[in-house]
Chains A and B, each alone.
Chain A
Amino acid sequence: MSQIISIHSFRGGTGKSNLTANLSALLAKAGNRVGVIDTDIQSPGVHVIFALKPSDVKLALNDYLWGRCRIEEAAYDVTAAAIGRFDESAARPRLFLIPSSVNTGEIAQILRGGYDIGKLNDGIHELVSALDLDYLLIDTHPGVNEETLLSIAVSDRLLLVMRPDSQDFQGTAITAELARKLDVREMFIILNKIPAGMDREFLLQQVESAYGAPVLAMLPLSIEMATLASSGLFALRFPDHPLTLELMKIAKRLLS
Chain B
Amino acid sequence: MDNSANISDLQSLITKMKSAVAPLRDILNGLHAKYSAVQEGAVATYIPELAKADPNWFAISIVSVDGQVVEVGNHQQLFSIQSVSKPFVFGMALEDHGREHVLTKVSVEPTGEAFNSIVLDERSNRPFNPLVNSGAIATADLVEGRDFPQRVTRLLEMFSRFAGRSVHIDNTVFLSERATGHRNRAMAHLMLNFGMVRDRVEETLELYFQQCSVLVNCHDLAVMGATLANGGVNPFTKERALKAEYVKDLLSIMLSCGMYDYAGEWAYRVGIPAKSGVSGGIVAVVPGKFGIGIFSPLLDPRGNSVRGVRVCQELSQRFGLHAFEAGFTGRTLQDELARK
The verdict on A118 contacting B20 (CB below 8 Å), with A125-B26, A183-B339 known, is: yes
Q: Which B residues touch A122, using CB under 8 A?
A: 25-26, 29
Q: Are A121 and B14 in contact (CB under 8 A)?
A: no
How far is it, in angstroms, between the C-alpha of A178 and the C-alpha of B72 when the chains are bound?
26
Q: Are A153 and B18 in contact (CB under 8 A)?
A: yes
Contact with A along B319-340 (1 / 0, CB 8 A): 0000000000000000000010
- Asked if A58 lies at the interface with its beta carbon under 8 angstroms from chain B, I say no
> For the complex, would chain A's binding face be called helix, strand, loop or mixed by DSSP majority?
helix
Interface size class of A (residues with CB under 8 A): 10 to 19
Nearest chain B residue, comparing its CB with the CB of A152: B17
How far is it, in angstroms, between the C-alpha of A150 and the C-alpha of B13 when the chains are bound?
10
How far is it, in angstroms, between the C-alpha of A122 and the C-alpha of B21 when the chains are bound?
8
**A221-251 interface with B by 8 A CB criterion:** none
Q: Which B residues touch A152, using CB under 8 A?
A: 17
Nearest chain A residue, comparing its CB with the CB of B14: A181
Q: Which B residues touch A146, using CB under 8 A?
A: 13, 16-17
Q: Are A182 and B26 in contact (CB under 8 A)?
A: no
Contact with B along A75-106 (1 / 0, CB 8 A): 00000000000000000000000000000000
Q: Are A150 and B17 in contact (CB under 8 A)?
A: yes
Pick the contact of B20: A117, A178, A181, A183 (CB < 8 A).
A117
Q: Which B residues touch A183, using CB under 8 A?
A: 18, 339
**B1-41 interface with A by 8 A CB criterion:** 13-14, 16-21, 25-26, 29
> For the complex, would chain B's binding face be called helix, strand, loop or mixed by DSSP majority?
helix
How far is it, in angstroms, between the C-alpha of A117 and the C-alpha of B13 when the chains are bound?
11
Q: Are B17 and A182 in contact (CB under 8 A)?
A: yes
Contact with A along B58-79 (1 / 0, CB 8 A): 0000000000001110000000
Q: Are A149 and B17 in contact (CB under 8 A)?
A: yes
- Asked if A120 lies at the interface with its beta carbon under 8 angstroms from chain B, I say yes
Contact with B along A148-175 (1 / 0, CB 8 A): 0110111000000000000000000000
Q: Which B residues touch A150, using CB under 8 A?
A: 17, 20-21
Q: How far is the CB of A117 from chain B (nearest CB, A)?
A: 5
Q: How far is the CB of A226 from chain B (nearest CB, A)?
A: 35
Q: Are B14 and A154 in contact (CB under 8 A)?
A: no
Q: Are A178 and B26 in contact (CB under 8 A)?
A: no
How far is it, in angstroms, between the C-alpha of A183 and the C-alpha of B22 when the chains are bound?
12
Q: Are B25 and A121 in contact (CB under 8 A)?
A: yes
Nearest chain B residue, comparing its CB with the CB of A148: B17
Q: Which A residues touch B29, using CB under 8 A?
A: 122
Q: Which B residues touch A149, using CB under 8 A?
A: 13-14, 17
Q: Are A178 and B21 in contact (CB under 8 A)?
A: no
Pick the contact of A120: B18, B20, B339 (CB < 8 A).
B20
Chain A CB within 10 Å, residue with most, of B13, B70, B71: B13
**B98-146 interface with A by 8 A CB criterion:** none
Nearest chain A residue, comparing its CB with the CB of B69: A118
Q: Are B18 and A182 in contact (CB under 8 A)?
A: yes
Q: How far is the CB of B79 from chain A (nearest CB, A)?
A: 19
Q: Are B16 and A178 in contact (CB under 8 A)?
A: no
A contact set with B: CB distance below 8 Å: 117-118, 120-122, 125, 146, 149-150, 152-154, 178, 181-183
What are some 28 contacts across the A-B interface (CB < 8 A)?
A117-B17, A118-B19, A118-B20, A118-B25, A118-B70, A118-B72, A120-B20, A121-B20, A121-B21, A121-B25, A122-B25, A122-B26, A122-B29, A125-B26, A146-B16, A149-B13, A149-B17, A150-B20, A150-B21, A152-B17, A153-B17, A154-B20, A154-B21, A181-B14, A182-B14, A182-B17, A182-B18, A183-B18
Beyond A146-B16, A150-B20, A154-B21, list 12 extra A-B contacts (CB 8 Å): A117-B17, A117-B20, A118-B19, A118-B25, A122-B26, A146-B13, A149-B17, A150-B17, A150-B21, A178-B14, A182-B14, A182-B18
B contact set with A: CB distance below 8 Å: 13-14, 16-21, 25-26, 29, 70-72, 339
Closest 3 CB pairs of A and B: A153-B17, A118-B20, A149-B17
